[in-house]
């Protein structure tokens, strides 16, 4: 279908679907076939095979994800980390150097500091708020600049426009992990980013029942990542493709509800005497609130906070909430609560966590689709205990 001028909500339902529904099915069937008949393809990457991420279920998602961020191309992967690792390995070779934002998802941080460093690929971490400091970090062998839309778990918002502009000016590939925002709140290609990555496990799927990832952006770069991924083998199973597409159809309604709910909960927490600070870009008190307003259509369903009383009080609070599940991950229909020091960032050395401001008492909350008032009442009772 013609996609220009079509709004995101409509793309979520229809973009990428076959022109003529297969056997009249309004829902894309699952093509659970590892291999497909040879039709004279001249290139290895054009053979139809699940590991090459090119079955009809993959193709639908590639078209849909590209349409959602108004990009040239997209690729689905076996997980968010498969997307991240394939992208780094596609563009960096031993001896190369790149720049990455200081505060990142723990898995990404570990991949950079352990795996890539082990391959002889070096990184300097940059302060996303201080563009004047970036030039000093450049080397002749610098190739990539990497950032997160809203940092995990502190919800910082770097000068994202400056990152895209700086990358362009210095011939670097700009890459952004857009997991926390989702295409509903932010579309990186519109701001000049070369590649946008997602853990599709989170908001894109939204139901905490698969792991998946995505790479979205410029056609020739996505093709290069595809070839690397074809060799690494991080393809998405067709049934997971089906579930990801099903989840995507409700992304806009879920995300907007979660945006609104998170803001109300952040406001409740900010006003509570037992809460020391709340990290949420939608709050006027967030140090980069105006920047977030300029960049985003919504502020996401993620927030983090610290309470008085140290780790013991934080653990007691988490133990006393009744509605959210105490679990890592995020972006699902069910609220999830966790202490990043024990889960998403437990692989990061404590001194690195401390330097970034990820304290042992920090609590991260992923707002689900439960009634906002019920979540606030639940937090209120748990804070009283």
3-class secondary-structure state, position 364: strand
Does 259 help bind ligand PLP (rule: CB under 6 A)?
no
Instruction: Tell which positions 165-194 bind ligand PLP, by CB under 6 A.
Output: 177, 179-180
CB 126 within 8 A of CB 134: yes
CA distance 376 to 264: 8
- Name which of 80 and 301 has its Cβ closer to ligand PLP: 80
Active-site residue identified among 51, 224, 256, 291 = 51
CA distance 61 to 245: 7
Looking at residue 32, what DSSP letter applies? -
- Name which of 213 and 368 has its Cβ closer to ligand PLP: 213
Does 107 help bind ligand PLP (rule: CB under 6 A)?
yes
Q: In the Cβ-directed half-sphere of 85, how many Cα atoms lie within 13 Å? A: 22
CA distance 213 to 49: 18
378 is catalytic: no
Least distance to ligand PLP, CB of residue 187, Å:
17
Tokens of 7: 């709004």
- Name which of 304 and 382 has its Cβ closer to ligand PLP: 304
Least distance to ligand PLP, CB of residue 178, Å:
9
Peptide bond before residue 80 is cis, with ω within 30 degrees of 0: no
Instruction: Tell which positions 64-83 bind ligand PLP, by CB under 6 A.
Output: 79-81
Torsion of the alpha carbons at 213, 219, 221 and 222, rounded to the nearest 10: 20
Least distance to ligand PLP, CB of residue 194, Å:
18
Does 243 help bind ligand PLP (rule: CB under 6 A)?
no
Active-site residue identified among 63, 64, 187, 202 = 202
Which spans of this chain sit near ligand PLP (rule: CB under 6 A)? 79-81, 105, 107, 148, 152, 177, 179-180, 199, 201, 211, 213, 329, 344
Active site residues: 51, 105, 177, 202
């Amino acid at each position: 279908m013609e996609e220009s001028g079509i709004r995101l909500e409509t793309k979520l339902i229809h973009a990428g679907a076959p022109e003529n529904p297969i056997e009249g099915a309004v829902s894309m069937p699952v093509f659970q076939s590892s291999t497909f008949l040879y039709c004279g393809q001249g290139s290895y990457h054009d053979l139809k095979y699940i590991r090459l991420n090119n079955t009809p279920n993959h193709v639908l998602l590639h078209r849909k994800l590209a349409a959602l961020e108004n990009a040239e191309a997209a690729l689905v992967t076996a997980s968010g980390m498969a997307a991240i690792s394939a992208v780094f390995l596609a563009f960096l070779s031993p001896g190369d150097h790149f720049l990455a934002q200081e505060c990142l998802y723990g898995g990404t941080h570990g991949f950079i500091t352990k795996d890539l460093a082990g391959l002889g690929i070096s990184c300097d971490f940059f302060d996303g708020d201080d563009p004047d400091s970036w030039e000093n970090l450049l080397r002749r062998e610098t190739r990539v600049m990497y950032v997160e839309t809203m940092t995990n778990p502190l919800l910082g918002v770097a000068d994202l426009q400056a990152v895209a502009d700086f990358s362009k000016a210095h011939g670097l590939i700009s890459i952004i992990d857009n997991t926390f925002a989702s295409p509903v709140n932010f579309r990186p290609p519109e701001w000049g980013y070369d590649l946008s990555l997602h853990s599709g496990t989170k908001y894109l799927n939204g139901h905490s029942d698969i792991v998946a990832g995505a790479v979205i952006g410029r056609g020739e770069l996505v093709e290069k990542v595809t070839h690397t991924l074809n060799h690494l083998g991080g393809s998405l199973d067709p049934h997971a493709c089906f579930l990801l597409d099903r989840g995507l159809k409700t992304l806009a309604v879920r995300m907007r509800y979660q945006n609104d709910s998170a803001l109300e909960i952040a406001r409740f927490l900010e006003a509570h005497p037992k809460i020391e600070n709340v990290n949420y870009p939608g709050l006027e008190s967030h140090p980069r609130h105006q920047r977030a307003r300029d960049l985003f259509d919504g502020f996401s369903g993620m927030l983090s906070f610290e309470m008085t009383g140290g780790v013991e009080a934080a653990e007691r609070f988490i133990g006393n909430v009744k509605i959210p599940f105490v679990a890592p991950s995020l972006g699902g229909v069910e609220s999830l609560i966790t202490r990043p020091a024990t889960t998403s960032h437990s692989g990061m050395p404590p001194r690195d966590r401390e330097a970034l401001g990820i304290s042992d008492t920090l609590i991260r909350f992923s707002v689900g689709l439960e009634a906002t008032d019920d979540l606030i009442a639940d937090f209120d009772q748990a804070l009283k205990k």
